[in-house]
Amino acid sequence: MNYVKRALVLTALIAFAGCSGGGSGGTAAEDQVYLIKFPHVTAPGTPKGQAAARFKTLAEERFPGRVEVEVYPSSQLMNDDDSLEALAFGEIQMIAVSLSKFDRLTHAFQVFDLPFLFPNLDAVEAFQYGPAGQELLDELTDRGFKGLAFWHNGMKQFSAPRPLLSPEDAAGLKFRIMESDVLQAQVQAIGGNPQKMALGEVYQALQTGAIDAQENTWSNIYSSKFYEVQPYIMQTNHGYIGYLVAVNPQFWAGLPDDLRSGLEEVMAEVTEWGNDQAEAINIQARERVDAEGRNEVLDLGPEQLALWQEAMRPVWEQFANDIGADRIAAASGASSN
Ligand code: LMR
């Protein structure tokens, strides 16, 4: 099924699951073991991979014999698109999907994709922990996704077959992007040709030339080995990748109260732990790419970055109505603090 058709079917299915109360929501029994299947798409060493593994460890340590968490990293079980559908239907119980990929379900998360809105993870966090950010956790509860937390990956960099020093250098290149209309507009704004694609397909697409370039965090560039097939990597920090950690609302409501609140405490602890080390993991990933010695890594300076910022700025106006001026103001206000 092509991407657009699949997206429409998924949207309709999820709307149905949200209305019909799809999900497993079990009756609480003393001896019941609750299974949390938690698939995700990145490698175990990434910020998300490490946080998911820690959630499993702490949850099972605190609630022995009452909860079992099965983490499936690296798209082993399914890609993100399929996991949205599977969560809404209660086939899996937990996800941590990139905020960009909720695009067809809500416009609210598009704020996270606006280019050059957040200068760093501190600015993202100031927004996420403020009232405008916290209300986003509940944005999709009615549609089958109860948000528990936001997890960071990090800031995005471009990689390409040639140096991208100014936006004009991107003209005509086919860029893989996540499933987001804002990212599509961002690439169009620099004259590129955006292609929405699942993470698990990107390496081969770069290798065969089906696409030319991509944007991602250092930890994804390293763990997905994009550095093997992309000679140039530009440190631009032009955008953010982070996740909504969500559960199926019926499943969550069906947990015994003590278990649910205990798991929410574990999630809060893991979120703080994971978000505190996300930046260091990305710095280390860059060092590992450097150590491989296969790439030219270009650190763009403030004057060069100003040109990128200017070229991409129209994207803000394009999506202002959909996202909401107040939300954008809250996010940029948080960034300037
Ligand atoms: C991507 O598809 O590039 C990202 O969503 C991967 C991730 O989950 O960090």
Domain membership flag for residue 23:
no
Q: Does residue 141 share a domain with residue 89?
A: yes
Q: Does residue 134 share a domain with residue 187?
A: no
Domain membership flag for residue 54:
yes
Q: Does residue 88 share a domain with residue 60?
A: yes
According to DSSP, the β-strands at 157-160 and 213-216 are: antiparallel
pLDDT reported for residue 333: 87
Domain membership flag for residue 22:
no
Residue 205 alpha carbon to ligand 1 centre in Å: 15
Domain membership flag for residue 119:
no
Residue 193 alpha carbon to ligand 1 centre in Å: 19
Q: Does residue 317 share a domain with residue 222?
A: yes
Residue 89 alpha carbon to ligand 1 centre in Å: 22
Domains in the chain, number: 2
Nearest atom of ligand 1 to the alpha carbon of 40: 8
Nearest atom of ligand 1 to the alpha carbon of 198: 2
Nearest atom of ligand 1 to the alpha carbon of 217: 9
Residue 40 alpha carbon to ligand 1 centre in Å: 9
Q: Are 182 and 156 in contact (CB under 8 A)?
A: no
Q: Does residue 268 share a domain with residue 187?
A: no
Residues with pLDDT less than 70, the chain: 1-30, 334-337
DSSP codes joined into one string, 234-287? EE---SEEEEEEEE-HHHHHTS-HHHHHHHHHHHHHHHHHHHHHHHHHHHHHHH
pLDDT reported for residue 52: 99
pLDDT reported for residue 26: 45
Mutate to test the pocket of ligand 1, among 38, 41, 46, 197 (most ligand atoms within 8 A of CB): 41
For residue 153, which of 65, 224, 232, 257 has the smallest C-alpha distance? 224
Domain membership flag for residue 247:
yes
Kindly provide the residue ranges of all beta strands, DSSP E only, lying in the chain, ordered along the sequence.
Answer: 34-39, 67-72, 94-98, 146-155, 157-160, 174-177, 193-196, 213-216, 232-235, 240-247, 296-299
Domain membership flag for residue 211:
yes
Residue 157 alpha carbon to ligand 1 centre in Å: 13
Pocket of ligand 1 (CB under 6 A): 41-42, 98, 153, 178, 199, 216, 220, 241
Domain membership flag for residue 114:
no
Q: Does residue 64 share a domain with residue 183?
A: no
Q: Does residue 167 share a domain with residue 266?
A: no
pTM: 0.92
pLDDT reported for residue 308: 98
Domain hosting residue 146, numbered range: 3-15+32-106+128-152+242-278
pLDDT reported for residue 28: 52
CATH of residue 182's domain is 3.40.190.170
For residue 47, which of 284, 263, 267 has the smallest C-alpha distance? 284
Quick: pLDDT tens for 222-240.
999 999 999 999 999 999 9
pLDDT reported for residue 21: 40
Quick: pLDDT tens for 4-54.
444 444 555 555 454 444 444 444 566 899 999 999 999 999 999 999 999
pLDDT reported for residue 317: 97
Distances (CA, A) of 137 to 99, 140, 220: 11, 7, 25
Q: Does residue 306 share a domain with residue 248?
A: no
Q: Does residue 225 share a domain with residue 170?
A: yes
